[in-house]
Amino acid sequence: MKRIFRFSIVLVIALIGVILACSRQKPDYIGPAYIAAPENFAVTSFTSNMSSISFIPSTSLMYSASFTNSVSWKLTITGNKSGAYHVFEGISNGFTNLQWWGEHDGAFFFKTGETVTATLSFFGTSMVSETTTLVTQAADFKTCGKFSTYGDFENASKITPANKWFAFNSPTPIPNVIQGVASAEIDRNGDTVKAPEGNQYYFIKGKGDQATFVSGIQSTASLSGITPQADNVWVNIYLYGTGDPNAGVEIEYQEADQPGDGIYSPTTDDAFVAYVTLSHIGWKLFSFKYSDLTPTLNADFGGSGNRKHEPNRLRSWDIVLVKKTDPNSPIAVYFDYPIITTGGPFKPCH
């Protein structure tokens, strides 16, 4: 027994010896470098070159600042009405003519007529510097991709079949559904829904008269000129969620596969679908690479084409509101600013 015990001790000591002999090559630090502001840190100047700006035609607002030390800084531009923001970051003792073209980072766009506050903040201190500017005309990003005409929903009277927007109408009207353009709908949580871009958006609410399907709307505005490379095309739309796992949308992108006819025929062509459950809270940009969209399984509605992702053959798209878990519970979708981009998801450009 003693021999076993001694053997065990020797084995364990040998194991520990091997472990302690290990050493890893360590860098001096990991992650990106940053520098916090020291105690005597101060901002010596912080200015913008204009007190008001129109971003149309494309113009930039320029910010300049200088500090006593080289530190990690963050410049956050915030819209006082829209809640939109845009952030610049860097490590330096200042910057000169930093250009802002009116773009935003989150879901909300800057609005015409609002004051924006540029706040300069730093790692390691609560010190901030601010300057304000009036936006007389917000930037327009519709040319950053193939935008569905009138898809900002700012003019409700344009959302009609005459302008290639077709609210679903079978039967007419669809029972237990309301849909249209709005600016201040109240969601299921009692919160007012404000538009992410401009002042208005489109909404569909209700429980319809079927177990899953509620209603939808189709846009057939021209989508010509899109590249055929499906892995270089993104479809984008802003969707508002209320945290309701019962609420879902199916966004269908419809192609004209049959040579010559040039239109989407549900029984002979392709439709590719993005499925979204609206279980998030608030507005969010949803972007899908076109090649990742799933072919619809419905043979009578886009499931009978050549099954090839061909964005250059896109002719129309629609958004369909569906109940995911509970056929008896009403649901809602609010959406805005549908746009198809190339090279990556929608990003404000200039």
Q: Which residues bind other proteins (CB under 8 A)?
A: 1, 4-5, 8-9, 11-12, 15-16, 19-20, 22, 24, 26-36, 38, 123-124, 126, 189-192, 211, 231, 243, 281, 291-292, 294, 325-326, 328-329
Q: How many CA atoms lie within 13 A of 188 on its CB side?
A: 21
Q: How far is the CB of 329 from other proteins (least distance, A)?
A: 7
Q: How far is the CB of 92 from other proteins (least distance, A)?
A: 14
Look-up of token digits 């700012």: 154
Nearer to other proteins, 150 or 238 (CB): 238
Output the six-digit token pair for 8: 């065990």
Nearer to other proteins, 49 or 275 (CB): 275
Distance CA(62)–CA(51), nearest Å, equals 11
Nearer to other proteins, 266 or 282 (CB): 282
Nearer to other proteins, 56 or 87 (CB): 87
Q: How far is the CB of 190 from other proteins (least distance, A)?
A: 7
Q: Are 87 and 117 in contact (CB under 8 A)?
A: no
Q: How far is the CB of 8 from other proteins (least distance, A)?
A: 4
Q: Are 302 and 271 in contact (CB under 8 A)?
A: yes
Q: How far is the CB of 24 from other proteins (least distance, A)?
A: 6
Nearer to other proteins, 51 or 192 (CB): 192
Distance CA(217)–CA(200), nearest Å, equals 16
What are the residues facing 135 on neighbouring strands? 53
Distance CA(109)–CA(63), nearest Å, equals 20
Q: How far is the CB of 330 from other proteins (least distance, A)?
A: 12
Output the six-digit token pair for 99: 């250009």
Q: Are strands 247-255 and 314-323 parallel, antiparallel or unpaired?
A: antiparallel
Distance CA(224)–CA(316), nearest Å, equals 10
Which of 77, 146, 136 shows the shortest CA–CA distance to 108?
A: 77
Q: Is the dihedral of CA 55, 58, 59, 60 positive or negative?
A: positive
Nearer to other proteins, 28 or 300 (CB): 28
Q: How far is the CB of 172 from other proteins (least distance, A)?
A: 28
Q: Are 74 and 87 in contact (CB under 8 A)?
A: yes
Nearer to other proteins, 36 or 50 (CB): 36
Q: How far is the CB of 32 from other proteins (least distance, A)?
A: 6
Q: Is the dihedral of CA 238, 192, 246, 243 positive or negative?
A: positive
Nearer to other proteins, 7 or 45 (CB): 7
SS3 13: helix
The backbone region for 176, taken as left when phi is positive above 0, alpha when psi lies in -120 to 50, beta otherwise, is left
Distance CA(287)–CA(140), nearest Å, equals 19
Nearer to other proteins, 97 or 192 (CB): 192
Q: How far is the CB of 22 from other proteins (least distance, A)?
A: 6
Torsions phi, psi for 120 (to 5 deg): -100, 120
Q: Is the dihedral of CA 69, 73, 78, 80 positive or negative?
A: negative
